[in-house]
Structure 1
Amino acid sequence: MRLKGLFVLLSFGAFTAYYIYEPIPEDIEERWKLMLTNCLFRSLSHLADFSEVLGVKDYMGVMYFITFAERVVPVSDARVRVTEEHFEGVEVVVYQPHQQPHQQALRPAIIYLHGGGWCLGSSRMSPYDMLAREMVTELGAVVLSVEYRLPLACPPFPVPYEDVYRVVRYVLRRDVLARYAIPQGALAVSGTAARGANACSVSSMGGRGGLTHDSLQSVQLKVQALLILVLRPDLNTPSYQQNQNMPVYEDTKRYRFWAEYFSSDQIILSSMMTNTHNSPQSAPLLKLDKRSILRGLVDRKYNYSAPRVVWGGGGEASRWLADPRASPLLVPDAALRSLPKAYILTCEYDVLRDDGVMYVTRLRAAGVEVTHQHYPHGFHGALLFSVWPTDFSIARRMTENYIRWLRENL
């Protein structure tokens, strides 16, 4: 009986160790904490797959538990006044410094777009709430955290992008700037991961005069701060190949997120999983000279091939793959030249690393001033692992560097 119990205990321990352990690079800090954190994400992903197979709930519906679990009610405190408002029908959580009437002064503003792979996340999650409060207290700024609609609750692309576009355009009105004591020319747009792409898109629209309001108040974005970038649906870059098994953002999630941003059609998902999602319509636009754009990277010793033209689904989803609003790396060079100075954060152990590097290269070639903050030991989403028990020291350093840059440039 004792031997049987010992066997069960050892078997359970071996299975647990096998499930938790992952070959994470040695130079990543707090490796075991990352393994345990990813175990939670992986378990939820497996549960989501199982639930979808049984027809209980779709994959993203289960994965939304991450958003729900970290959701908080943004409330005012001694230093930060918080209100929940609607800009052009879009929910926005507004964080402002607590000031007495005689202390009213002009202050910069940051339009912040939370991450979550297009399908998850909320400005009301605790990491984003903490980050917004820190920006207010450290910078004396107004933070406008956009609660854009997710594909779970609305039609897919371009609806979420249009929510962001409407908010930015609304904020640029003279009366709105005056209401929040924001001086013209002291406005930043900032986004994380998938919404870093939206921040790029609205910046480039502004650079082309696309954000001009009816009152003829043209865009006054001073800076763009892009915290991890996903800029085009190419899942075969060297960073994707190098980091395909890294925690947090493994294969299943990134394929599902990209596909469901455009459509719930399973054809798109299966095509993306084999990197064959180019159609005759999108192929010419998605073709990039990777060798020249990636020249800033050291030799990664990975063979690159562009997505093949195989998928014949056509239709709107095919066209959207090559839409610069979804894939900002496809914006023509002429549109980049008038963009505001940029801060771009990349992590070595992130599948999205090369998207950020390519954008840095293109912006600099267009004459845009760029600060590229690369973290050799960073991993995907590290900036937002700031809340116990998944708080990492690298998240604190990233936050400090990001806020320091905003203080010096906004």
Structure 2
Amino acid sequence: MPIHPAVAAKLPLLDGVPSFEALVTDPAFRDRMVQFMTPSAGGPPPAVKTREETAAGVRVRVYSADEGAGPCLVWLHGGAFKMGDLDMPEADWVAREVVTRAGATVVSVDYRLAIPYPAPHDDVVTAVRWVRDALAPSRIVLGGASAGGNLAAGAALRLRDDDGWVPAELALVYPVLHPELPPASASLTRRMAEVPPILHFPPEEVRTITEDFLGGPVNRADGYAMPGLAVLEGLCPTLLLTAEYDDLRPSGEKFAAALALAGVDVHHVQIPSMLHGFLGLPSAIEPVDRALRLLAAAVAG
């Protein structure tokens, strides 16, 4: 399927920009950056109640529709383990949408950034234990996008092994789960030719991101840092959403296959016409709405 028109219309803004970092940081590209990041469809996300909390030393933001012990999503934004915050759409908009759609609580975790593993992993494990023990919701789903998907899966594995407990479900969206990317299929390679180079994740860039996260070479990764290396038996049911136009898609696909081989109930859905990071787009865009419906359904149970 072609790249969604709402996305494709903005790609010419990237012509001549040497890198995504330059788009974000170079004043020469500021106007283009603002246009590229400004949603072209839909209105603001739903208004819901929020409060700031400290979960055993980890900052979290709690979004809720009503007080009570209903289902809860513990949510982790992406950003290559070094960027992002609780206010970015992939964190804030997603939380508000899930609260509204699932009648749930969402706890968005402000895990440490640009500090090597296991620091962010430990923050997530701590936050999930706090939700489980202090908030005591009826159902806990642990989820995240991109680097957040990695941290969600790693935390679920740690909780399985250390606590003998797993969340009711994992929800992983365009995650990276392997220290080095599995090879891309010919069809994915053809699709990625339509995407501007600065929106690619070439293997050498992924390796650098992984080395920064690990604080050393990729061969030091264990199964908690890179869940694609882990023993997966006994993990909870998993919803895994990948983007059609995403260099990281092979990691999600390989992980879904490994989950199935390990006897884990896995529901893998490829979201058509979307690029990596699509949860930062408004729900008025149909494929984004579909992804949010799947995510909310997993939370509601």
Q: TM-score, normalised by structure 2?
A: 0.80
Question: Counterparts of 1:32-181 in structure 2 under 5 Å?
Answer: 33-37=7-11, 39-40=13-14, 43=17, 45=19, 48=22, 80-99=48-67, 105-151=68-114, 155-173=115-133, 176-178=134-136
Determine helix, strand or coil for the equivalent of 2:253.
helix
Contact 1:383 1:396 in 2 (8 A): no
Deviations 1:95-144 (A, max 9, x none): 11245xxxxx4211110001122222112113421221121122221110
Question: 1-side partners of 2:281 and 2:291: how far apart?
Answer: 10
Determine helix, strand or coil for the equivalent of 1:167.
helix
Aligned to 1:249: 199
Give the counterpart letter for 1:119 in structure 2. K
Aligned to 2:153: 200
Question: 2-side partners of 1:327 and 1:118: how far apart?
Answer: 13
Work out the number of aligned pairs and report it.
Answer: 285
Question: 2-side partners of 1:203 and 1:319: how far apart?
Answer: 21
Which residue of the other structure, out of 167, 178, 183, is the alignment partner of 1:237?
183
Aligned to 1:324: 223
Question: 1-side partners of 2:116 and 2:15: how far apart?
Answer: 24
Determine helix, strand or coil for the equivalent of 1:116.
coil
Determine helix, strand or coil for the equivalent of 1:122.
coil
Give the counterpart letter for 1:383 in structure 2. L
Give the counterpart letter for 1:171 in structure 2. V
Q: Structure 1 residues 163, 238: closer, same or farther in 2, change over 3 A?
A: same
RMSD between aligned residues: 3.4
Task: Tell whether 2:296 aligns with 1:403.
Answer: yes
Question: 2-side partners of 1:116 and 1:251: how far apart?
Answer: 13
Question: Counterparts of 1:5-44 in structure 2 under 5 Å?
Answer: 27-30=2-5, 33-37=7-11, 39-40=13-14, 43=17
Contact 1:231 1:328 in 2 (8 A): yes
Deviation at 1:46, TM superposition (A): 6.2
Determine helix, strand or coil for the equivalent of 2:216.
helix
Question: Counterparts of 1:181-330 in structure 2 under 5 Å?
Answer: 182-183=137-138, 186-208=139-161, 210=162, 212=163, 219-235=165-181, 237-239=183-185, 241-242=189-190, 245=193, 246-247=195-196, 249-251=199-201, 255-256=204-205, 258-260=207-209, 262-263=211-212, 317-318=216-217, 321-330=220-229
Which residue of the other structure, out of 239, 261, 265, is the alignment partner of 1:343?
239
Contact 2:98 2:104 in 1 (8 A): yes
Give the counterpart letter for 1:94 in structure 2. V
Contact 2:166 2:235 in 1 (8 A): no
Question: 2-side partners of 1:41 and 1:145: how far apart?
Answer: 34
Give the counterpart letter for 1:109 in structure 2. C
Question: 1-side partners of 2:182 and 2:256: how far apart?
Answer: 19
Contact 2:77 2:90 in 1 (8 A): no
Question: 2-side partners of 1:132 and 1:51: how far apart?
Answer: 27
Determine helix, strand or coil for the equivalent of 1:231.
coil
Contact 1:262 1:320 in 2 (8 A): no
Determine helix, strand or coil for the equivalent of 1:229.
coil
Pick the structure with greater CA Rg. Answer: 1
Deviation at 1:40, TM superposition (A): 4.8
Deviation at 1:82, TM superposition (A): 0.6
Contact 1:225 1:344 in 2 (8 A): yes
Q: Structure 1 residues 47, 193: closer, same or farther in 2, change over 3 A?
A: closer
Contact 2:112 2:120 in 1 (8 A): yes
Deviations 1:268-318 (A, max 9, x none): xxxxxxxxxxxxxxxxxxxxxxxxxxxxxxxxxxxxxxxxxxxxxxx9612
Deviation at 1:232, TM superposition (A): 1.1
Give the counterpart letter for 1:36 in structure 2. K
Give the counterpart letter for 2:266 in structure 1. V
Deviations 1:207-261 (A, max 9, x none): 22x2x3xxxxx53511111111211132451157555553463247x74465245
Determine helix, strand or coil for the equivalent of 2:117.
coil
Question: 2-side partners of 1:370 and 1:97: how far apart?
Answer: 28
Give the counterpart letter for 1:372 in structure 2. H
Aligned to 1:383: 279
Q: Structure 1 residues 242, 322: closer, same or farther in 2, change over 3 A?
A: farther
Contact 1:172 1:220 in 2 (8 A): no
Deviations 1:37-85 (A, max 9, x none): 5735973836639989xxx9xxxxx9xx99xx88xxxxxx996221111
